[in-house]
Amino acid sequence: MNEAIRVLIIDDDQLVRESISAFLEDDGFIVESASSAEEALARIESGHHDLCITDFSLPGMDGEELILSAYSLSPKTRFIMHSGVNFTPSAELELIGFTRENVMSKPIIRLELLSERIHMLAGKPGVSE
């Protein structure tokens, strides 16, 4: 049996965190959540997550800054940005392997597409390096 994929959801909107968490847990993922970038970085530093799903607009630091900081703490962790704005990855994000495939428009209407994207980016066995 494959080990479950561990996902951290970062969004300051409690309803978004709870709805995505509930769906992913029902789909067999191990899910944690954080309401801020600072809380997320503390969780990333103290635990293992295969993939983080972050909103772009967060209080304090934006999703891009969060991803770059999180990557320095956990380079094997993969990331998905869900954003209500048209987001294009910066050169810094591209250097760490973050591409348009890692971006999903918000709101995510079809959560099964999110599940497929998680498996694609952080699936086990054979997590891409």
pLDDT at 108: 85
| CATH topology classification for 6-122 | Rossmann fold (3.40.50)
Pair 6, 28: CB distance under 8 Å: no
pLDDT at 125: 40
Domain extents in the chain? 6-122
Pair 37, 58: CB distance under 8 Å: yes
Give the pLDDT confidence of 48-58 residue by residue, as tens digits: 899 999 999 89
Q: State the pLDDT confidence band at 33, using cuts at 50, 70 and 90.
A: very high
**Beta strand pairing call for 51-55 and 6-10:** parallel
Average pLDDT over all residues of the chain:
89
The residue type of 129 is: E
Averaged pLDDT, 36-58: 94
Pair 79, 101: CB distance under 8 Å: no
Pair 55, 13: CB distance under 8 Å: yes
Give the pLDDT confidence of 60-84 residue by residue, as tens digits: 899 999 999 999 999 999 999 998 7
> What are the phi and psi torsion angles at 107 (to 5°)?
-80, 150
